[in-house]
Amino acid sequence: MNTALFSTSSAWLKAIALGSLVLLTACERPPMESVQHGYRGTGMVQVYNPRILEDVVAANQVPAALEPASAEGPKAGQIYQNVQVLGDLSIGEFTRLMVAMTAWVSPEQGCNYCHNPANFADDSLYTKVVSRKMVEMTQHINSNWKTHVAETGVTCYTCHRGQPVPKEIWFTADSQPQGSNFIGDKAGQNSPHINQKLGSLPYDPFTAYLLGNEPIRVGATTALPVKGAKGESIQRTEKTYALMTHMSASLGVNCTYCHNTQNFAKWEGAPPQRVTAYHGIQMSRDLNLSYMEPLTDTFPSNRKGELGDVPKLNCATCHQGAYKPLFGAPMAKDHPELQALRAAVAATAMEPAAASPDDAPAAASTEAPAATEPAPATAAPAAAPTQ
């Protein structure tokens, strides 16, 4: 018997035991709670960690709504000099929204985060120009993306939570940070990043799917190989899993919240949440393309990413760990002015300081999907290939 081999393998065993101990310390401490989500016998349960859930609950509380304001009296557009979007609100409604926006976005900095205190009509602060676009974006979400946000809707608080920069934003990542070195194509992988829960999957699945429109497809859609089956490339498969990891983590759910894991690709038998998520992907892409990217010249360079792109949003920007943002609290109903799209009017007194495509916000709205129609997708989920 070769003892040398034997002792080497026991050294290996020790190393493995030590290694798994180190790995286990990174695991979440039991007990977990599990809740049935699919039909009986499908094993579609949701596993929750009650300790993590506590933090998510704390982060998803809703601030009290302000008293409603009277719609009587002169309109903001008649009294103020440079009101381009909210002109049809009464002075009372307009002021109420300004107070709410301050509480939602810049409670510490106050009105002056967006305003030049010497002249409230002045558009010289980029934050004000961005906010005007944000008002339009919020109205667009609430009126044209009901397929995703339903009647619950969103307000500035859904994303901002009392901070000028939302907690969860993303930039296009440099997929080959060291240039072309001898290691070959890094393909944006193998660097632990919170985007994919510190895994080795691609750390930027967003540029491909929440800005671009690459197919969200994998190499194999069945558990066992099927003769003649043709799947996607390994790179696309990895990016798809990275996106799915982000989606699960953003909502604080498992894969079975949206999939019948017997067949991930199949729409039939999958929970209805998958269709909502499908619209969520389309919506996030639309918001990044129609509202965030046009602000590229408005944002100062210190707010941009390493490649000079604007900050963008993903599922976590709104959801922040909850299956519905703020656990579905219908905050937007207290702000009817953020519900309907308002056609922007040209400034009466002064031109906006920033020469941005902001001048033509109507363009974004005309491309918007109709409220009751499914998202502007080439293939609606129902028409997606089932197998």
- Chain positions 169 to 198 lying near ligand HEC, rule: CB under 6 A, are 169
x-or-dash string of contact with ligand HEC, 126-165, rule CB under 6 A: -xx-xxx-xx--x--x------xxx-x-x-x-xxx---xx
Q: For residue 69, which of 55, 52, 86, 83 has the smallest C-alpha distance?
A: 86
Select from 64-72, 178-186, 323-331, 364-372 the region that touches ligand HEC (CB under 6 A): 323-331
Q: What is the largest CA-CA distance in the chain?
A: 98
331 binds ligand HEC (CB under 6 A): no
Backbone angles phi, psi at 90, to 5 degrees: -70, 165
User: Which residue among 274, 339, 341, 374 contacts ligand HEC (CB under 6 A)?
Assistant: 274
Q: Helix 273-287 crosses helix 126-144 at what angle (to 10 degrees)?
A: 150
Scanning residues 218 to 247, which ones bind ligand HEC (CB under 6 A)?
A: 218, 221, 240-241, 244-245, 247
Please list, in sequence order, all residues whose beta carbon lies within 8 angstroms of the beta carbon of residue 39, skipping any fewer than 6 positions away. Answer: none
Sequence letter at residue 159: C
**Cα distances (Å, whole numbers) of residue 72 to 80, 108, 256:** 16, 31, 50
Select from 4-12, 39-47, 80-88, 181-189 the region that touches ligand HEC (CB under 6 A): 80-88
Select from 23-31, 45-53, 99-107, 356-364 the region that touches ligand HEC (CB under 6 A): 99-107
**Cα distances (Å, whole numbers) of residue 356 to 10, 12, 108, 295, 300:** 67, 62, 28, 7, 13
201 binds ligand HEC (CB under 6 A): no
203 binds ligand HEC (CB under 6 A): no
CA–CA separation, 386 and 164 (whole Å): 43
**Cα distances (Å, whole numbers) of residue 260 to 39, 237, 271:** 10, 18, 7
Give whichever of 203 and 278 is closer to ligand HEC, judged by the CB atom: 278
Report in angstroms how near the CB of residue 190 gets to ligand HEC at its nearest.
18
For ligand HEC (CB under 6 A), the number of binding residues is 80
Select from 1-9, 56-64, 121-129, 359-367 the region that touches ligand HEC (CB under 6 A): 121-129
Residue 230, judged by CB atoms within 10 A of its CB (0-12, 13-18, 19+), counts as exposed
Give whichever of 150 and 226 is closer to ligand HEC, judged by the CB atom: 150
Give whichever of 98 and 174 is closer to ligand HEC, judged by the CB atom: 98
Residue 313, judged by CB atoms within 10 A of its CB (0-12, 13-18, 19+), counts as buried
Report in angstroms how near the CB of residue 9 gets to ligand HEC at its nearest.
35
User: Which residue among 45, 80, 305, 339 contacts ligand HEC (CB under 6 A)?
Assistant: 80
48 binds ligand HEC (CB under 6 A): no
Give whichever of 165 and 187 is closer to ligand HEC, judged by the CB atom: 165
User: Which residue among 175, 176, 276, 339 contacts ligand HEC (CB under 6 A)?
Assistant: 276
Give whichever of 188 and 259 is closer to ligand HEC, judged by the CB atom: 259
303 binds ligand HEC (CB under 6 A): yes
User: Which residue among 202, 205, 252, 280 contacts ligand HEC (CB under 6 A)?
Assistant: 280
Give whichever of 13 and 79 is closer to ligand HEC, judged by the CB atom: 79
Sequence letter at residue 178: Q
Report in angstroms how near the CB of residue 284 gets to ligand HEC at its nearest.
5
Residue 291, judged by CB atoms within 10 A of its CB (0-12, 13-18, 19+), counts as buried
